[in-house]
Structure 1
Amino acid sequence: MAPTLVRLALRRALRETRYVRPVTFGRASGLVRDVYRQLERDFGMLAPPVALHSPSPPVLAASWLMLRESLAAAGETSRADREVVASLVSQANSCPYCVEVHGMALGSLGYASTASAVAAGDAVPDPRSGALSAGGRAELTAVAFTFHYLNRVVSVFLGASPLPPSVPDSARSKAKAVLRRFLKPVSGVSPGLALDFVPPSADSVAWAAGNPVVEDAFSRASSAFAALTISPVVRDVVLRELSTWDGSPPGLSRAWVDSVEDPAARLALVVAKAAYQVDDALVAAAGLGDRELVELVGWSSFVAAQRCVVLETRAAR
C-alpha cells in the first residue's frame, strides 16, 4: 500500500471527477466503506476509476469485483500479461487515462512500454492464444471485459490523465515517475475475496468456463447490472443498437445518434459505442442525479463490454 501522505493525496484525486460527487473516504459507510478498504489494500490506492462509482454502492461493488478478480488477484497468468491486455484494450477504446495508468504500471514492472512488454515475450496479449489453458484464457478475457467497461466509464467521468490539470507541464514527467512507484502491483492478492460484496447469481458466463472464481465474479456482476433501474426506453434503444454493432467506432461526428429522441437513451448509446464523444451538453440533457447517472453509464458500459467480448470470442473460432 502507498505511504500515508501519498494515499491521502490519491484520495483527494476524487475531486477531479466530472458530473458526480463520489463519496469521500472519510464519509464512507457500509458497503462503500468496505469496498474502499479492500480497494486500498489490494490495489494500493483508492483508484478513482472505481471510487467514482460510489454514488451507487451496488455498481461500486460490481465494478471493483470485476477489476479485482480479473487484474489484481493471483492466477495462472502474470500481472504483466494482464497489464498488457488492459493497455491494448484501452488504446483501442481511445482512453488516454487508462493507457497512461497501465503504461505506468508496466513501467513499475520493468517495461519501458506496452510494446516492449509484448516484444520481450513475457506477456501474452491475446486471450485467444492456444498456448493458454482455459483458466488462463478466462483471466485475460476477464481483463479485456473489465477494460471495455472501465474505459467507457473513465471517458465520461475522468480527464485524459491521472495527473491533475494543475500539475504544470514542466513537472509532469517527475510526477509520473513518483506515481509509477506507487502503481507497482500489490503481490499476494488472494482470488475471490470480493465475491461477497455482490449477491450470488445463476447467470451463465460461457467465456469464463474453466476458471470458477472469474466465472462466479462476472456472473454476480452481470446480475447486479441487470437489476439496475434503467428505463425500458433506454434498454430497448441500447440493446437493439448493440445487437447489430460490429464493434467499430462510429466516427468523429455524432450524427449517428441524432435520431434518438430520448436524451437518456441518447447518452447511454453514445457511452456504449463512443464514450469519448460524451460531453457536458449530452450529460446535462439527460437530467440525472448522481446515482442515476452512475447507473446509466455503468449499465450501458457493461452491456457494451459484453458485446465486445462476444465479438472477440466469435473471431477466435
Structure 2
Amino acid sequence: MGSLFARVARRASAAHIRHVARVAPGSETGLVAEVYQQMEADFGMVAPPIGLHAPAPAALAASWLMLRESLLAGGVVDRSVKEAVAAAVSVANRCPYCVEVHGAAMAGLSSGADADAIVAGRFDAVADPRVRELAHWAWASGRPEAGGRPVPFPAEQAPEVIGVVVTFHYLNRMVSLFLTESPLPPVPAPALGMVRRGARFVMGTLARRRPTPGTSLELLPDAPLPPDLCWAAGRPPVAAAFARAAAAVEHGAHGAVTAEVRGLVLGALARRVGVEPGLGAPAWLAEAVATVPANDRPAARLGLLTAFAPYRVTGELVDQVRGDLDEAGLIRLTSWASLAAARAIGARLWPVESAPPAGRHI
C-alpha cells in the first residue's frame, strides 16, 4: 500500500470530520505537513482521529506522538494485544468509530472471534485468557474502582499498555466530538459484512508495520515528564512522547481555557474520572457551571462534557463556544479537557511513587 492509497485515504477520511474545516489534501504546510508525511510513512494513511486536530498543529503533533509511540511503534507488547486494549477502552467510552477501527485491526492481526467478542463488549467470550483479562481491565480503567487494583501485566509493559489506555481515553473523547459515528461507508445492510471484512484486511495489513520507536519525537520540543505520567518512565520513547504531548497541549490551552474553566474541570476530575452515563444531564451540567462567570459557561459546559460525557456534546453547544473561539481554539480547549481526563485515569492506574523498569519483550 503506497502513496496512491495514502492519497485516496486522505480524501476519503477527511469526509469523516465535523465541526471544524477539513484540510484540503495537498494544502498542508509546516508542522501539519510534517505530521501527515510521517503518519503516511509509518501508518499508511492520515488517520482521521489524528487529522481532526489539524486546525491546532501542536495538538495534532501531540496526538500523533502519543498514538505512535504507545500503539504503533515496535516494543515489548504485541500489537494485537494493544489493539484489544484500544478496542476495550473504546467500548467503555461509547466510541463506535474507534471500536470499529481497532476491532478491525485486532481481527486482521489475530483471532476474529476474539475481536468480535471485544467489539460486542462480551469479554468473557474471549478465548485467549491473557487478552480476556486485559480487555476486562482496560474496559474498567475509567471507573472509580480501577484505582489501586493490581494490573494484569508485568511492570515493564506498563509504558505501552497504560500508554494505549491513556491515548484512547484521550482520542475517544476527541473522536466523539469531531468525527462521524462510523468510519465505514454507508452501504445496505446485506453488504456490511463484506465491507467489514475488507476493513479487517486493510487494517490488519497496516497494523503489521513496526515503526522505529522515537522518530516522532523531533516534532515537538523536549519537556520533563510530569509526575502523573510516571507510568511511562520505563520506556524512554513513550515517556518522551507523553511528556512532549502534555507540554504542547498545556501550552496550547493558554488563551483557549480560562482559569475558571480550568479550575472547574480539574476540580471535577479530582472527584471522579471516566465517562459516566449520569453525567452531562442538563440538571447536573447547569449546577456544575453555575459557579463560573456567565460568559465562560459555554466553554465550561464543553470542557466538562468532553471530560465526562463527550457523546452528549451537541452541534448547538459547539456553535456557542465558537462564538468566542476560532477552530484552533476549539481544538485546544477540547484537547486539553480530553487529555486532562485521560491523564487523571492513567494516574489512578499506576502509583506516582512507582516507575516501571526498562522493558524487554515478553
TM-score over 0.5 for the pair: yes
How far the C-alpha of 1:308 sits from its partner, in A, is: 1.2
**Hey, what does 1:159 align to over in structure 2?**
180
**Hey, what does 1:198 align to over in structure 2?**
220
**Hey, what does 1:120 align to over in structure 2?**
128
1:172/1:227 Cα in 2 relative to 1: closer, same or farther (>3 Å)? same
**Hey, what does 1:103 align to over in structure 2?**
103
1:188 aligned to 2:216? no
Q: Letter of the aligned partner of 1:223 in structure 2?
A: A
1:254 aligned to 2:275? no
Q: Letter of the aligned partner of 1:53 in structure 2?
A: H
How far the C-alpha of 1:181 sits from its partner, in A, is: 1.5
- SS of 1:119 mapped into structure 2: coil
Cα distance in 2 for residues equivalent to 1:308 and 1:254 = 24
Within a 5 Å distance, the mapping from 1:263-302 to structure 2 comes to 263-287=298-322, 288-302=325-339
Contact 2:275 2:309 in 1 (8 A): no
Contact 1:43 1:186 in 2 (8 A): no
Cα distance in 2 for residues equivalent to 1:249 and 1:38 = 35
Contact 1:44 1:183 in 2 (8 A): no
Provide structure 1 residue ranges, at least 5 long, that are not aligned to the other structure: none
**Hey, what does 1:38 align to over in structure 2?**
38
Identify which range, 72-81 or 197-206, moves more after superposition.
Answer: 197-206
Contact 2:74 2:213 in 1 (8 A): yes
How far the C-alpha of 1:3 sits from its partner, in A, is: 6.9
How far the C-alpha of 1:203 sits from its partner, in A, is: 3.2
Q: Letter of the aligned partner of 1:274 in structure 2?
A: A
- 1:212-254 CA deviation, whole Å, 9 max, x = no partner? 1111111111111111122222212111111111436042733
- 1:27-58 CA deviation, whole Å, 9 max, x = no partner? 11111111111111211221100011001100
1:105/1:277 Cα in 2 relative to 1: closer, same or farther (>3 Å)? same
Q: How many residues align?
A: 314
Identical columns (%): 42
Within a 5 Å distance, the mapping from 1:239-250 to structure 2 comes to 239-247=266-274, 249-250=276-277
1:65/1:105 Cα in 2 relative to 1: closer, same or farther (>3 Å)? same
Q: Letter of the aligned partner of 1:176 in structure 2?
A: R
Cα distance in 2 for residues equivalent to 1:3 and 1:153 = 27
Of 221, 245, 248, the residue aligned with 1:221 is: 245
How far the C-alpha of 1:306 sits from its partner, in A, is: 0.7
Provide structure 2 residue ranges, at least 5 long, that are not aligned to the other structure: 139-149, 355-362
- 1:77-102 CA deviation, whole Å, 9 max, x = no partner? 00011011101111111111111111
How far the C-alpha of 1:292 sits from its partner, in A, is: 1.0
**Hey, what does 1:60 align to over in structure 2?**
60
| TM-score when normalising by structure 1 | 0.92
- SS of 1:26 mapped into structure 2: coil
Q: Letter of the aligned partner of 1:81 in structure 2?
A: V
1:234 aligned to 2:261? yes
Q: Letter of the aligned partner of 1:172 in structure 2?
A: L
- SS of 1:22 mapped into structure 2: coil
| TM-score when normalising by structure 2 | 0.81
Q: Letter of the aligned partner of 1:227 in structure 2?
A: H
Cα distance in 2 for residues equivalent to 1:285 and 1:278 = 12
- SS of 1:163 mapped into structure 2: coil
**Hey, what does 1:173 align to over in structure 2?**
193
Cα distance in 1 for residues equivalent to 2:5 and 2:82 = 28
Cα distance in 2 for residues equivalent to 1:80 and 1:7 = 26
1:148 aligned to 2:169? yes
1:120/1:130 Cα in 2 relative to 1: closer, same or farther (>3 Å)? closer
Aligned-pair Cα RMSD in Å: 2.3
